[in-house]
Amino acid sequence: MIEVRAQDAPGLLFRLGRALEAAGVRVRSAHVSTLGANAVDAFYVTRGEGTPLPGDEAASVARGLEESLRT
């Protein structure tokens, strides 16, 4: 599970989705919520073939999500 907490903005979920697609992971479940001006999004992801992500791959995906928020 990868959780993203960020200030809500138009296109936020789109940018996160594109970053997940670029990472080649499969989103098994997503829990998206907005609390005031903040978004809290949790993504349950696996490898493309459905196997769990090892810790190093999950960290790499998380870095890609962080980068998508900076652009």
Give residue 54's region: left, alpha or beta (phi > 0; psi -120 to 50): beta
pLDDT tens, 20-41? 999 999 999 999 999 999 999 9
Average pLDDT over residues 50-70: 95
pLDDT tops 80 at residue 50? yes
pLDDT tops 90 at residue 71? no
Residue 53: its pLDDT value, please?
95
65 alpha carbon, distance to own chain's centre: 6
pLDDT tens, 52-61? 999 999 999 9
**Domain 2-70, architecture per CATH:** 2-Layer Sandwich (3.30)
